[in-house]
């Protein structure tokens, strides 16, 4: 079964600094991978997705992620973080068989002024 690991439980960055959230996956075949964000008091929002094709994926709110098979990673990046980016971020593998999303612990992003 496919699984992902987000090694960083909590990250703090300064506003305007660049951001990279790590996601490592374990799966034999090419996985479906998603990044979702859950902001305080708001619902979960899809940032971007990778199914196949171009390994650099552009998402909403200025986020991007790169699928690197050699490193088994799908890290989320943003060149300049805004205070409103403070939230919980989830890297999630999708299942082509069931359509389920199994959430892990996520990474909490704190943005300091």
Token output for 99: 């359509």
Nearest distance from C-beta of residue 41 to another protein, angstroms = 9
> Under a CB-based contact definition with an 8 Å cutoff, are residues 27 and 93 in contact?
yes
Q: Which one of residues 23, 94, 109, 111 is an interface residue with another protein (CB under 8 A)?
A: 94
Nearest distance from C-beta of residue 89 to another protein, angstroms = 11
Residue with tokens 């919980």: 88
Token output for 107: 């990474």
The answer to the question of residue 34 lying near another protein (CB under 8 A) is yes
Q: Which residues contact 43 (CB under 8 A, 6 or more apart)?
A: none
DSSP tag of 101: B
Complex with another protein: residue 15 or 88, whichever CB lies closer: 88
Binders in 52-91 for another protein, by CB under 8 A: 90
Q: Which stretch binds another protein (CB under 8 A): 9-17, 18-26, 79-87, 104-112?
A: 104-112
Q: How many angstroms separate the Cα of 82 from the Cα of each of 6, 15, 27, 62?
A: 21, 5, 33, 10
Site residues for another protein per CB under 8 A? 32, 34, 36, 42-46, 49, 51, 90, 94-106
């Amino acid at each position: 079964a496919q699984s992902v690991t987000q090694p960083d439980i909590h990250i703090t960055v300064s506003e305007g600094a660049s951001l990279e959230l790590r996601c490592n996956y374990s799966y034999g075949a090419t996985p479906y991978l998603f990044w979702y964000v859950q902001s305080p008091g708001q619902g979960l929002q899809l940032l971007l997705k990778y199914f196949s094709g171009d390994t650099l994926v552009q998402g909403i709110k200025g986020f991007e992620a790169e699928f690197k098979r050699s490193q088994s990673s799908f890290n989320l990046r943003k060149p300049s973080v805004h205070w409103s980016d403070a939230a919980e971020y989830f890297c999630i593998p999708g299942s082509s068989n069931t359509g389920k999303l199994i959430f892990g612990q996520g990474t909490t992003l704190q943005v300091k002024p």
